[in-house]
Structure formats: C-alpha cells, structure tokens
C-alpha cells in the first residue's frame, strides 16, 4: 500500500507540474508572438554638436544624409524601445527589461542614425548586438566603447582632436583612422585598426588582442612600452627608443594579452 501511495503521489505531482508548465508557457508563447509586431518611427535630433548613440541590443547603423537635419529611424518589435534624451542629444536602442532573457530577436530590431553635419563630439557605445559606422566621417572628438557584440567601421574616420577606442569584451574593427591623438584600450576581446595615422598613440592591454597598422616607419617614432606579461610584436621586434627631433610617440602598457603593431609607408 505504501508503494501504491507513493505512485499516486508521484502522478499527482507530475500532473501539477505539467499544469504549472502550461500556465507559464502561455504567457511565454504570447511574448514569443510579439517579436513579429513591429513599430516604426522617426526622431529629429537637436542641433547640438555633441551626440551620444548607444546600442543595448539589436543593430545600430550610422549613415550620411542630404537632409537639412540629422534624424533617427527605427524599426523595432514590442520587445524593444528607442529612447531619446533631447537635452543631452542621446539616443538609445534598448530591449525592454522584461524581455532581456529572449535573445533570438536581436538582428531584426534596427535603429538607423542619419547625420548631416559630422563635425560632432561623438560618443558611441555598444553593450550587445551590432553597431555599424557606414562610410567616411569627420569628427571633432570620437569615443567608441564596446562592452559586448560587434562594432565595425568600414570607411575612413578623421578625428581633429582625440580618438578613444575601448573594448571591454566583444570585437571592434576600424578600417581607417586618422587622429591627432589616439588612445586604444583592451580589457578583453579584440581591437583592430587596419590603418592608423596619428602622431600620438597610447595603448593599454589587460587581456585580449590589439592589432593596428601605423602609417609611417618605426624609426620615426619615440617608443615607450612597458610589458608585464603577454606578448608584443612591434614591427617584428620589441624595443624602446628615443628618436632625436621626433615629436611622434607610441606609448603602451601590456599586462596580459597580445599586441601587434605594424608600419606601412
């Protein structure tokens, strides 16, 4: 009898468990259907020369436009929000907090930023998803931070003052960068600059991989690099040097990870 009682109790608990699954599955299924309910919209940006663009999920792309005003277009499901702070000129593509556990909708949700005058102090942040800087741009200052996901710049970026590129995780790829001052930092992940023109370059690598190709010759640069661990390839060698009469500098610190620096005349 005790064995029969245990069997009956097991059946009751199993039925109850199936009922609980069914109750939980219904709202989950309803949420799943929402991923096909898309909304579109347009936001006109203010005339500030400072612009912040953030991607928490989905895909953000920056383009040129011939319009007289810079603006944003978005196409997102009910899982996502596009937020604009007009006072700070900050626009963000983000996933609603209750849907952060759903990962299969990212690439379908898009925010496109169209710029008329690119002489901005530009701050770009990627926390997840994909970020694309499409075409050639000229900025006053540029800051790119990648915390996860993939960031790609496929054109030439000209920065009048300072370019700051930081990767905490994920991947950041820049086709071409020209800046008065350049700061590169990698805490994890990968940072690649295919072509870099800058007289003042500073890098810091705590983990991950950094690779960049400098326009010019190694013998034109003063180098001051401190390696605690990890590896460095500085034009196939590693040396610190002081070049008489040169104001071009490469300074760096490697705590772990890998750094590869190439030169191209």
Using 50, 70 and 90 to split pLDDT, how confident is the model at 168? very high
Average pLDDT over residues 78-101: 83
Compute the Cα dihedral for 202, 216, 62, 120 and give only its sign.
positive
Contact (Cβ atoms closer than 8 angstroms) between residue 222 and residue 197: no
Q: What's the confidence (pLDDT) of residue 126? A: 96
* CA atoms of 37 and 45, how far apart (whole Å): 26
Give the residue from 186, 44, 204, 11 showing the smallest Cα distance to 115: 44
* Percent of the chain clearing pLDDT 70 (strictly above): 80
Q: Tell me the C-alpha distance between 110 and 114, whole Å.
A: 13
Distance (Å, whole) CA 241 – CA 34: 60
Find out whether 135 and 114 touch, Cβ atoms under 8 Å. no
Q: Two tokens at 167?
A: 């990767």
Residue 205 has pLDDT above 70, yes or no: yes
Burial call 18-34: b when 16+ CB within 10 Å, e when fewer: eeeeeeeeeeeeeeeee
Residue 205 in tokens: 């690598």
**In this predicted structure, which of 2-11, 64-73, 239-248 has the lowest mean pLDDT?**
2-11
CA 132 to chain centre: 9
Say what the pLDDT of residue 11 is. Answer: 45
- Which residue, among 183, 223, 222, 175, has the nearest Cα to 201 in the 3D structure? 183
d(CA 254, CA 259): 8
Report, as an integer, the average pLDDT of 133-162: 97
Average pLDDT estimate for 100-114? 70
What's the pTM? 0.84
The CA-atom distances, in angstroms, between 213 and each of 31, 217, 233, 259, 265 are 47, 10, 11, 11, 10
Better-predicted residue by pLDDT, 244 or 180: 180
Mean pLDDT along residues 39-50: 93
Rounded percentage of the chain residues whose pLDDT exceeds 90: 62
Domain spanning 38-264, CATH class: mainly beta
Q: What pLDDT is recorded for position 25? A: 41
Least confident of 20-34, 129-143, 150-164, 197-211: 20-34
Annotated domain spans of the chain: 1-34, 38-264
Sign of CA dihedral 106, 172, 45, 116: negative
State the pLDDT at residue 22: 45
> Is pLDDT of 111 > 90?
yes
Does the pLDDT at position 242 exceed 70? yes
Phi, psi for residue 65 in degrees, rounded to 5: -145, 150
Tokens standing for 26? 């219904």
Q: Token digits for 28? A: 């989950």
């Amino acid at each position: 009898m005790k064995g029969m009682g245990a069997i009956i109790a097991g059946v009751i608990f199993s039925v109850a468990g199936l009922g609980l699954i069914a109750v939980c599955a219904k709202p989950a299924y309803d949420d799943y259907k929402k991923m096909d309910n898309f909304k579109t919209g347009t936001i006109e940006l203010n005339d500030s020369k400072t612009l912040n663009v953030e991607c928490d999920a989905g895909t953000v792309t920056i383009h040129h436009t011939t319009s007289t005003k810079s603006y944003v277009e978005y196409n997102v499901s009910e899982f996502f929000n596009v937020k604009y702070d007009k006072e700070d000129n900050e626009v963000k593509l983000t996933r609603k907090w209750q849907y952060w556990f759903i990962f299969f909708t990212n690439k379908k949700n898009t925010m496109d930023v169209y710029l008329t005058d690119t002489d901005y102090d530009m701050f770009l942040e990627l926390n997840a998803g994909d970020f694309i800087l499409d075409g050639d741009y000229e900025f006053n200052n540029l800051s790119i931070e990648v915390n996860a996901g993939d960031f790609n710049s496929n054109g030439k970026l000209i920065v009048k003052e300072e370019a700051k590129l930081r990767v905490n995780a994920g991947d950041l790829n820049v086709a071409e960068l020209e800046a008065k001052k350049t700061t590169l930092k990698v805490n994890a992940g990968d940072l690649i600059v295919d072509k870099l023109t800058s007289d003042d370059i500073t890098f810091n690598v705590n983990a991950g991989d950094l690779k960049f190709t400098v326009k010019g010759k190694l013998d034109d640069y003063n180098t001051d690099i401190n390696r605690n661990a990890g590896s460095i390839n500085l034009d196939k060698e590693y040396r610190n040097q002081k070049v008489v009469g040169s104001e071009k500098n490469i300074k760096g610190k490697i705590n772990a990870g890998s750094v590869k620096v190439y030169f191209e005349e």
